[in-house]
Copies of this chain bind each other. A is one copy, B any other.
Amino acid sequence: MNDFTFQSPTKFVFGRGAHREAGRLAAELGAKKVLVLYGGGSAVQNGTLPAVLQSLDAAGLDYLSAGGVQPNPGSSFVYSAIEGAREEGVDMLLAVGGGSVIDTAKAVALGVPYPGDFLDFYRGRPVEEALPVGVVLTIPAAGSEGSPNSVITDEERRIKKGAKGEALRPKFAVLDPELTFTLSKYQSACGISDMMAHIFERYFTKTPENAVTDRLCEGLLLAIKDVAMRVIIDSEDYEAQAALMWAGMLAHNDLCGVGREQDWGSHALAHQISALYDSAHGAALAVIFPAWLKYVYTEDIDRFVRFAQNVWGISPGGDKEQTALAGIAKYEEFLRGIGMPTRLSQLDVPEEGIPQLTELAFALGNTTIGNFKRLTPADVEAVYRLAL
């Protein structure tokens, strides 16, 4: 196990009706004026936003709100929100939504106290200070409600970039599974794909053995598998939605990644697809991850045998290569079963687009991507081609 520091101080309030606690939780933090961010109309239409605003009123807090955060959120929205927040003297951000809204709130929280361009933090400047961020989660998947991460698209360059720092961990996150009842099958499936990918990025590692982290990763994957199809069949299955909502947080607060090197190569490849073709993040991951697994499994076949046996129930004792490939095939079959695409063509990405995707993946001057296998441009192109 590598040495590590782990601290996950976010307060999670989980359960039916929990979103009505947002005002009380914000007041506990000492907030005076809250900027509430949200996305499309669903938070308004299903009554979540009005209930949250009412709870802020009831807690005696001043607030303003801004909707219209888009999936794969962009920098222009952030710039204008930072400006507005400064003018209004906002001292806290409240995200009502999924990963896009939360990541946007984190970007604004970073930008308000910083005199320069907030994108500096997405180009490597260390994160130190940010306004406090609270979350009312409506789409489980991104895990941003418990993570120190934020991903924003630099709209000028069309590049998705991440910032990371403990100041970005939400102070509280309200997880109310009933808010997910209105998600479409496709949204739920994208979320499932995304949270599994968050675990994979931490599970496929070459760092020293780490019995606990491996078993936690496998346990979480099994739990997701246990309930995934139930939410596709019935979006109002409370227990299944609750399990996914909690799993999505645990998949990304880094508990499953301590003491080891992580990969994140597949995320880098998927981000380029989202940036150029505006695909849903979870769908892009569902296309890239099986291809990546097939490309890299020979790097550590024993890890893939373990994955096949412990997660996908492949019987022990068989040929290692066959077992490893059978595990990957089961995962791909699972993705198709929940309605995810697993081929680039399903995302309208043509073969001729691969060179541009590859170029974009190295646009920032990096020479390799990922850790499990350090992918060169030729490797990246090969992974994209495996996803054709």
Q: Which residues of A contact B (CB under 8 A)?
A: 1-16, 18, 177, 208-212, 214-216, 218-220, 222-223, 226-227, 239-240, 242-243, 246-247, 250, 255, 258-259
Contacts and interface: CB of A to CB of B under 8 A. Distances in A.
Given A1-B243, A216-B216, A14 B259 contact: yes
B14 A258 contact: yes
Contact of A5 (B12, B226, B243): B12
Given A3-B15, A3-B18, A7-B12, 7 more contacts: A5-B12, A5-B14, A7-B11, A8-B8, A209-B239, A214-B223, A215-B223
Nearest to A310: B222
B243 A212 contact: yes
A14 B18 contact: no
Contacts of A242: 1, 210, 259
Given A3-B16, A7-B11, A223 B211 contact: yes
Contacts of A10: 7
B9 A4 contact: no
Given A7-B12, A8-B8, A226 B220 contact: no
A9 B146 CA distance: 12
A212 B247 contact: yes
Contacts of A219: 215-216, 218-220
Nearest to A8: B8
A18 to B, nearest CB: 7
A358 to B, nearest CB: 37
Residue of A211, A227, A259 with most partner-chain B CB within 10 A: A211
A149 to B, nearest CB: 18
B210 A220 contact: no
Contacts of A3: 14-16, 18
A11 B5 contact: yes
Which 6 A-B pairs have CB atoms at the shortest separation, nearest pair first?
A3-B15, A219-B219, A9-B9, A215-B219, A215-B223, A211-B243
28 contacts: A1-B14, A1-B15, A1-B177, A1-B243, A2-B15, A3-B16, A3-B18, A4-B15, A5-B11, A5-B14, A7-B10, A7-B11, A8-B9, A9-B9, A14-B259, A208-B239, A209-B239, A210-B242, A211-B240, A211-B243, A212-B223, A212-B250, A214-B223, A216-B250, A218-B219, A219-B220, A242-B259, A246-B259
